[in-house]
Amino acid sequence: MPFAIAIDGPVGAGKSTISDQVAERLHILHMDTGAMYRAVGLSCLRAGVDINDEAAVTKHLQDGKAEVCVRYADSLQHTLLNGEDVSTAIRTQEAGTAASAVSRYQAVRHAMVALQRDFAKGQSVLLDGRDIGTVVLPHADVKIFLTSSDAIRAERRQKQLAEKGEFRSFEEILAEVRARDLQDETRAIDPLRKADDAVIVDSTELTIEETVDAILSIVHQRTAGKA
């Protein structure tokens, strides 16, 4: 019997890394839905479309200028924009900010949610994002709300950026994390919020391995032998 796992949470909570490892341990595919919003954001940036102009972003999408799709090679997600693999290009701060902006719009959410639901049909999957447990897969077998303090999320992000050669101040990154939280939590459509039946996993004091183990043990309890 296929089963579905939904992992939601704020920016920098480690959703992608942890979801990758949980999915690998369960031998199922992981869809990072944030990557899809990033691809739409990137498309707007490249085309010079104002990300704060809902009508312009909607037209860009409806004109077929931002065709997003997700493919897998060796269980690894590749995010394609108009056929181009943009998996690396979407990992910038600018693409993240653009994603947060365009993800406020109904037309964008509508298109991405349809792709995500389609992916979850007929196979066991793990999806991570902001609205998976509340909107995309409201009947998911397991719902996790993965979070940690904003300071630790900013610290982790600072480290990640430094590894890529981008050195930024902690204060600046913390301000960005807080701004993104605010935008994701207060948008009118499908804001980031914990589903009523989601289990909170707070990774502030946990290592990646401990967080993965905590989630796996919840998965095993909830799926009772399916996973």
> Does residue 227 sit in helix, strand or coil?
coil
Dig out the tokens for 196 from the structure. Answer: 């009523």
Dig out the tokens for 184 from the structure. Answer: 């994701």
Q: Can residue 66 be called a binding residue for ligand DC (CB under 6 A)?
A: no
Which residues between 175 and 204 bind ligand DC (CB under 6 A)? 180, 184
Strand partners for 70: 79
The only residue of 7, 26, 99, 215 in contact with ligand DC, by rule CB under 6 A:
99
The only residue of 4, 5, 7, 11 in contact with ligand DC, by rule CB under 6 A:
11
The only residue of 58, 79, 103, 147 in contact with ligand DC, by rule CB under 6 A:
103
CB-wise, 34 or 119, nearer to ligand DC?
A: 34
- Residue 162 CA to residue 67 CA, distance in Å, equals 32
Q: Considering only the stretches 50-58, 98-106, 169-177, 206-214, report the one whose residues sit in contact with ligand DC under the rule CB under 6 A.
A: 98-106
The only residue of 33, 58, 134, 147 in contact with ligand DC, by rule CB under 6 A:
33
Dig out the tokens for 57 from the structure. Answer: 């972003």
Q: Considering only the stretches 65-73, 97-105, 157-165, 201-209, report the one whose residues sit in contact with ligand DC under the rule CB under 6 A.
A: 97-105
For residues 19 and 212, is the Cβ–Cβ distance under 8 A?
no
- Residue 32 CA to residue 71 CA, distance in Å, equals 11
* Smallest gap from residue 53 Cβ to ligand DC (A): 18
Q: Can residue 131 be called a binding residue for ligand DC (CB under 6 A)?
A: yes
Give the CA dihedral 51, 56, 57, 61, nearest 10 degrees: -160
* Residues binding ligand DC: number (CB under 6 A): 15
**At residue 11, what is the residue type?**
V
Q: Considering only the stretches 58-66, 128-136, 150-158, 203-211, report the one whose residues sit in contact with ligand DC under the rule CB under 6 A.
A: 128-136
Indicate the length of the chain as a whole number. 227
- Residue 155 CA to residue 149 CA, distance in Å, equals 10
Q: Considering only the stretches 31-39, 43-51, 52-60, 195-203, report the one whose residues sit in contact with ligand DC under the rule CB under 6 A.
A: 31-39
CB-wise, 189 or 217, nearer to ligand DC?
A: 189
Strand partners for 207: none
